[in-house]
């Protein structure tokens, strides 16, 4: 039987190439028709390409991280002595599974291509000969491990109290789980390595897929936009009182309020007086587009990298609507169900690290926007008021602006307007 060369198909309008994110097959594998063979990332989404035929993999045309043009060879099959065919099922029990769509893509993508947000990162599956059952002990000690390690242990049905940690203070790392699984779940009894011992291990990770896209966007933003940053302290004592009061009176259908919805509402109120900050800059055509609509990007950290889902038309929302929509788009970004519309169209971005917010930062502008606001954690501090020392709740904010479009005085004016509204929160609702 002659070899069959499968070329990268047209997977979307305007897409001319894609990046190989992960292979699901290797040379010598027998593959059934419609079985997934490769994940390819385009500017639109990550798609899983199924096999067009049954056969044996003879050649793979590219490695993870390689860019491959539409219409060029992707994989070569040979029929072999025993071409693989999907097993037949009785007619009365045969069912055809519907493809699960994790991320919407262009309508022109062929029916066999499934979108898979979950495959934007490569997961290494370690084979286990037999399930390792959880065996509880009576040590009573607190296990130190990251959430990712704990989640992996739960999925593998492992008892972390039986695993020796090699990290600081006996912290359990992924490498410790690997060793525990490789040993068949045996408890060696060896004490964890001293955290003061020399560490010489290295871990090389190829930058591909979403992480590569993030890197490219950061380089473009940082090196094409002349940033200037501005910092300020905001007294949110009165805002904290209002936030707690509103949360105490909310009904079951309303979300719990954090500071972000108030900041979003304040920005929507003040933007008409600071339109130069709510804009896009097209440097190729030297055109600045100022927006009357306030579409706020909310920088959201996920297991797959940093996403910026968008709450659109904040100016038309109340405090509860803005909080609900922020939770919706952030949640969809985290679980991989965000639509293309949810992830595009922001005119101004807010980034917050919550409790890890620190005292200051120099946030990088989300190109092609011209402004970004960084929100830091609020804390109780002694403050002099009317000649007396009082304890007030202070929150720092950091901002960056595109100095080609926004002058220093204009950027400072935006933050001072925000400060006024947050320190006197009644203004937000007037």
Q: Which residues are catalytic?
A: 403, 407
Q: Nearest CA to 193 among 220, 164, 214?
A: 164
Distant-in-sequence, close-in-space partners of 179: CB < 8 Å, separation ≥ 6 = none
CB 170 within 8 A of CB 192: yes
Q: Which residue has the tokens 């402004």?
A: 371
Q: How far apart are the first and last CA of the chain?
A: 77
Sign of the alpha-carbon dihedral angle for 228, 234, 240, 241: negative
Residue 350: strand pairing partners: 298, 373
**What percentage of the chain's residues is helix, strand, coil (to nearest 5)?**
30, 25, 45
CA 213, CA 351: separation in Å to the nearest integer? 19
Q: Nearest CA to 234 among 427, 417, 416, 395?
A: 395
Is residue 341 helix, strand or coil? Answer: helix
CA 171, CA 192: separation in Å to the nearest integer? 9
CA 142, CA 162: separation in Å to the nearest integer? 12
CB 172 within 8 A of CB 193: no
The pair of structure tokens assigned to 286 is 């030297």
State the pairing for strand pair 300-302/73-78. Answer: unpaired
CB 389 within 8 A of CB 349: no
Q: Nearest CA to 160 among 172, 170, 178, 147?
A: 172
Q: Answer whether the bond into residue 54 is a cis peptide, omega within 30°.
A: no
CA distances for 245 relative to 269, 325, 379, 400, angstroms: 22, 21, 19, 32
Q: Nearest CA to 423 among 372, 389, 387, 385?
A: 385
């Amino acid at each position: 039987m002659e070899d069959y060369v499968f070329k990268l198909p047209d997977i979307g309008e305007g897409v001319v190439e894609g990046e190989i994110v992960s292979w699901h097959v290797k040379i010598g594998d027998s593959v059934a028709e419609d079985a997934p063979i490769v994940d390819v990332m385009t500017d639109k989404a990550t798609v899983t390409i199924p096999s067009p035929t049954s056969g044996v993999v003879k050649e793979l045309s590219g490695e993870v991280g390689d860019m491959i043009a539409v219409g060029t060879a992707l994989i070569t099959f040979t029929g072999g002595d025993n071409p693989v065919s999907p097993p037949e099922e009785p007619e009365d029990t045969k069912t055809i599974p519907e493809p699960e769509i994790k991320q919407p893509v262009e309508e022109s993508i062929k029916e066999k291509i499934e979108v898979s947000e979950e495959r934007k990162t490569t997961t290494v599956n370690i084979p286990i000969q037999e399930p390792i059952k959880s065996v509880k002990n009576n040590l009573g000690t607190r296990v130190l491990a990251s959430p990712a390690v704990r989640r992996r242990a739960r999925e593998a049905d492992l008892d972390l109290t039986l695993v020796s940690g090699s990290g600081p203070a006996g912290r359990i790392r992924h490498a410790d789980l690997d060793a525990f699984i490789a040993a068949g779940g045996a408890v060696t009894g060896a004490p964890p390595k001293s955290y003061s011992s020399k560490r010489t291990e290295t871990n090389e990770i190829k930058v591909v897929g979403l992480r590569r896209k993030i890197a490219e966007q950061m380089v473009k933003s940082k090196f094409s936009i002349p940033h200037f940053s501005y910092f300020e302290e905001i007294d949110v004592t009165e805002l904290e009182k209002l936030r707690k009061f509103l949360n105490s009176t909310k009904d079951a259908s309303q979300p719990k309020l954090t500071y972000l919805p108030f900041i979003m509402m304040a920005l929507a109120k003040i933007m008409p007086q600071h339109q130069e900050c709510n804009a896009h800059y097209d440097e190729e055509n030297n055109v600045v587009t100022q927006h009357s609509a306030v579409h706020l990007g909310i920088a959201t950290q996920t297991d797959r990298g940093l996403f910026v889902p968008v709450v659109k038309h904040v100016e038309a929302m109340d405090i509860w609507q803005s909080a609900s929509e922020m939770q919706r788009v952030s949640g969809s970004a985290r679980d991989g169900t965000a639509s293309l519309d949810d992830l595009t169209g922001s005119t101004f971005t807010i980034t917050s690290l919550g409790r890890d917010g620190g005292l200051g930062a120099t946030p990088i502008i989300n190109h092609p926007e011209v402004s970004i606001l960084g929100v830091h954690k609020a804390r109780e501090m002694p403050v002099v008021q009317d000649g007396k020392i009082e304890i007030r709740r202070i929150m720092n904010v950091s901002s960056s602006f595109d100095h080609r479009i926004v002058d220093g005085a204009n950027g400072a004016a935006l933050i001072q307007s925000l400060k006024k509204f947050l320190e006197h929160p009644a203004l937000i609702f007037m």
